[in-house]
Amino acid sequence: MSEIMVNGAARQVPGGWRVADLVDALGYAGKRIAVELNGEIVPRGRYGEVSLAARDQVEIVVAVGGG
């Protein structure tokens, strides 16, 4: 297991996980979200290729009401 940060909170994930595994585990598969890994955008089409490593900082965002 490795510890990563997801939206500011620590989370243990199995070694070898890719972004797609995290997105699936959180129930976001097929949802309109955007993912940033260590400050860089991860395009939707690349979730299956990009690996997660210990100390990674992941941000997952959605659109919410705002002015």
Partner 1 sequence: MQQTERKRVPAGEDPLVIGGRAYRSRLLVGTGKYRDFEHTRTAIEASGAEIVTVAIRRTNIGQNPNEPSLLDVLPPERYTILPNTAGCFTAADAVRTLRLARELLDGHDLVKLEVLGDRDTLYPNMPETLKAAEQLVKEGFKVMVYCADDPIQARALEELGCVAVMPLASLIGSGMGILNPWNLSIIIDRAKVPVIVDAGVGTASDAAIAMELGCDGVLMNTAIAAAGDPVRMADAMSMAVTAGREAFLAGRMPRKFYAASPSSPTTGLIG
Binding site for partner 1 (CB under 8 A): 6-9, 26-28, 31-36, 39, 41, 43-44, 59-67
Measured in whole angstroms, the distance separating CA 10 from the mean position of its chain's CA atoms is 12
Minimum distance, C-beta of residue 67 to partner 1, in the bound complex (Å): 3
Please say which residue, 44 or 55, places its beta carbon nearer to partner 1: 44
Minimum distance, C-beta of residue 15 to partner 1, in the bound complex (Å): 21
Kindly report the CA angle at 17 between 16 and 19, in degrees rounded to 5?
140
Residue 36 belongs to what H/E stretch? strand 34-37
